[in-house]
Amino acid sequence: MSPAVTDENHVGADDTTPIAKRILIGEPLTSEELEGQLLPKKMALPIFASDALSSVAYAPQELLMILLIGGTAFLTYSPWVAAAVVALLVVVVMSYRQLIKAYPSGGGDYEVARTNLGEKAGVVVAAALLVDYILTVAVSVASGVDNIISALPGLDAWRVELAVGFVVLIILVNLRGVREASTAFAIPTYLFIGSVMVMIVVGLIRWALGDPPIAESAQYAVKAEDLSQAAMFLLILRAFSSGCSALTGVEAVSNGVPAFRKPKIRNAQATLVMMGSIAAMMFAGLTLLALVAGVHYAENPCHLVGFDCTGAVQPSLMAQVAAATFGGGSVLFFIIQAATAAVLLLAANTAFNGFPLLGSVLARDGYAPKALNTRGDRLVYSNGMIILGLAAVVVLIVFQAKLTTLIQLYIIGVFVSFSLGQLGMVKHWRRELRLLSPKAAAERRAAWSGLVINSLGATFTIVVLVIVTITKFTHGAWLVFLAIPVLSFLMVGVHRYYRDVEHEITMDDDVHFGATGDVAIVLVGKLQKPVAKAIDYALAARHDKTFAVHISVSPEDTRDVQADWEYHHMPVPLLIIDSPYRQYAAPLAQFITQYRQKHGSSVVTVYLPQYIVGHWWESVLHNRRARRIAQQLMLVHGVQITLVPWLLDSTELIYGRRSRPLPGDDRAGRITSYGLVAHTEDET
């Protein structure tokens, strides 16, 4: 235990932290412990790669599903479409290798676009990325739940509840901090890679030996739509767009470079290439195996002739391939499904690394609320995590955790940031080439190769963005097209606001000291001990003038206060202010304004006695009047508010809620006998 916590005189944040928070989230960490939280490569792979790798759990399925709309004959196009996706993946991975080298600070596409294309491009990329992170969580969790239900169809009725439950779980795991999360996440990611690879190899060997695995759905015919030539072409493009969901998550590494151990850049690049290679192999292998096994996966399973479309659950493509290869009830089938579900849920975790980090960068740059740049007890950006989690829960509930609908929204944002990031990199290399001296041959060669790679990347991703936009817009992507500009405008507005406030409060020659005219007003409702304490403390400060004010709402109460005042010989005069509308702050504000008009612009200190309670429910039983009065009086010029706490006995019930009284303090925080200062006065 840290010394600050064992120190008995220590009060405040630690002591008031509910035990539940400590158990769920863990002990607090000092700022120096940050370096120890950094990731070695073998841990960084599962953390940052689970998003990109897990995409192969849904990308082949969505690709084949779209082609199947045109009928089983269309499936012959799928190897070509899959090959295009893999080619794109290779280009994008190469492009991001360049980006990591050039911008290793973790700002990723946002930083690249902002630095090279200007503020507006940066804000748009940031907005696109924020939307993406939310959708990553939603899509991954929805697909994970889908795979769980494929293995255990009885859970179908709880689809949305399961999805929301998993998001909450992921939030809690992440609030504990990044390294512990990584340890817990490494095993399922490696299990997923291993088991799916084994499945692909076994399946393809069986095929080569003339005993191919056959999926149950191979027997179903398809009610194909009648398509024109143009529609057929569009369908192939749509299938390609959906297949591009395999690329989502590739950018995760570039946004997480600061979390890597040194040498950060090389480790991050190696992780990226490793991840890209594995993803490409798995995507190609799974698509091929699904074709071999004759998997028929339909957007609406009722279009499958022979499928019991009212009762039965349509298993995911992964489940169908696994069942065909290993048998539906086999241990290996359940291992594959469990690993797939686990890695998808962990993919959601990628966003819980990226979103808060981007949020803190945005907050640092003044584009997002400062609260996003505050590390919590466990050194993670807690606020960002909570916002991301809540947003994902809302998306999951609104779209009822339906994977195919969510995928439509997903890919746009990814390719907006891809494209702007790559464009920024193109500009970056061109500037580098301008600035480098013609003698620096090695650097020039590197810059040239960077320029070529990123130009290729930019061209490809822009073309795909156009295709995705055309093919997905009416299928829900318009929502993302609305969200990105709205978020961008908000961020620009926040930036402008912070700039104005900063301008307003920066120290300048206008600052000088010498406020005078020191008046104290103690607000009195009923004459009770808390009021007496406030008067005692006000007198201790020896203001120029001190008097009590009672706002008269009911004549009886006022008479009582006046009588008590005389009876107890209170040492300050009592003023009565009438309030026919039963307001407290307004008449007092008016009185203060008039007083200052008459006596010059003095500093008026208003003393408000406040109850401090031990339990949250006690606050329901006390009027929050003092707090509301304070809020309104603070709008009056020259006023400051002094809150004089009265610690009710119940504050003691909870260990450590209040400090130990010194000799001379009483339980309620009053000073009853006088310490050194008082003794000195006694002697004179």
- State the CB neighbour count (10 A cutoff) for residue 378: 19
Q: Is 558 within 8 Å of 552 (Cβ atoms)?
A: yes
Instruction: Give the SS3 label for residue 197.
Output: helix
Q: Give the helix/strand (H/E) hosting 545.
A: strand 545-552
Beta strands at 221-222 and 304-305: parallel, antiparallel or unpaired: antiparallel
Q: Is 406 within 8 Å of 395 (Cβ atoms)?
A: yes
CA distances from 617 to 454, 613, 614, 621, 626 (A): 59, 9, 9, 7, 18
Q: 470 to 499, contacts with a copy of itself by CB under 8 A? A: 494, 497-498
Instruction: Give the SS3 label for residue 684.
Output: coil
Stretch that binds a copy of itself, among 185-193, 316-324, 402-410, 590-598 (CB under 8 A): 590-598
* Shortest separation between residue 654's beta carbon and a copy of itself, angstroms: 10
Q: Is 519 within 8 Å of 638 (Cβ atoms)?
A: no
Q: Is 315 within 8 Å of 323 (Cβ atoms)?
A: yes
Q: 13 to 52, contacts with a copy of itself by CB under 8 A? A: 13-16, 28-32
Q: Could you report how far apart the first and last alpha carbons of the chain are, in Å? A: 48
Closest CB to a copy of itself among residues 294, 609: 609
Q: Can you read off the two tokens belonging to residue 226?
A: 């009648």
* Shortest separation between residue 463's beta carbon and a copy of itself, angstroms: 39
Query: Binding of a copy of itself at residue 10 (CB under 8 A)?
Result: yes
Which of 122, 428, 610, 626 binds a copy of itself (CB under 8 A)? It is 610
Q: 637 to 676, contacts with a copy of itself by CB under 8 A? A: 637-649, 651, 657-665, 668-676
Strand positions, DSSP E, 582-671:
603-612, 639-647
Question: 116-148 as b/e, with b when 16 or more CB fall inside 10 Å?
Answer: bbeeebbbbbbbbbbbbbbbbbbbbbbbbbbbb
* Shortest separation between residue 325's beta carbon and a copy of itself, angstroms: 46
Stretch that binds a copy of itself, among 92-100, 171-179, 388-396, 503-511 (CB under 8 A): 503-511
Query: Binding of a copy of itself at residue 9 (CB under 8 A)?
Result: yes
Closest CB to a copy of itself among residues 33, 225: 33
Stretch that binds a copy of itself, among 255-263, 298-306, 471-479, 587-595 (CB under 8 A): 587-595
Q: Could you give the string, one character per residue 377-416, with x where binding to a copy of itself holds by CB under 8 A and - elsewhere?
A: x---------------------------------------
* Shortest separation between residue 547's beta carbon and a copy of itself, angstroms: 15
Q: Is 142 within 8 Å of 347 (Cβ atoms)?
A: no
Q: 134 to 193, contacts with a copy of itself by CB under 8 A? A: none
Q: Can you read off the two tokens belonging to residue 475?
A: 């299928």
Query: Binding of a copy of itself at residue 4 (CB under 8 A)?
Result: yes
Q: Give the helix/strand (H/E) hosting 626.
A: helix 625-633
Q: If you ran DSSP here, which 8-state letter would residue 226 be given?
A: P
Stretch that binds a copy of itself, among 129-137, 277-285, 460-468, 616-624 (CB under 8 A): 616-624
Q: Can you read off the two tokens belonging to residue 398?
A: 């609104």
Which of 501, 563, 575, 653 binds a copy of itself (CB under 8 A)? It is 501
Which of 234, 281, 452, 539 binds a copy of itself (CB under 8 A)? It is 539
Residue 77's contacts (CB-CB under 8 Å, 6 or more residues apart) are: 67, 236, 239
Query: Binding of a copy of itself at residue 84 (CB under 8 A)?
Result: no
Q: Which amino acid is located at 509 in the chain? A: D
* Shortest separation between residue 158's beta carbon and a copy of itself, angstroms: 20
Closest CB to a copy of itself among residues 562, 659: 659
Which of 51, 571, 577, 683 binds a copy of itself (CB under 8 A)? It is 571
Which of 18, 36, 329, 580 binds a copy of itself (CB under 8 A)? It is 580
Q: Is 49 within 8 Å of 275 (Cβ atoms)?
A: yes
Q: Could you give the string, one character per residue 341-380, with x where binding to a copy of itself holds by CB under 8 A and - elsewhere?
A: ----------------------------xxx--xx-x---
Q: Which amino acid is located at 119 in the chain? A: E
Question: How large is the greatest C-alpha to C-alpha distance in the chain, in angstroms?
Answer: 110
Stretch that binds a copy of itself, among 55-63, 111-119, 183-191, 521-529 (CB under 8 A): 521-529
Stretch that binds a copy of itself, among 65-73, 233-241, 312-320, 529-537 (CB under 8 A): 529-537
Query: Binding of a copy of itself at residue 105 (CB under 8 A)?
Result: no
Closest CB to a copy of itself among residues 219, 673: 673
Closest CB to a copy of itself among residues 209, 620: 620
Q: Residue count at the site for a copy of itself (CB under 8 A)? A: 131
Beta strands at 574-578 and 603-612: parallel, antiparallel or unpaired: unpaired
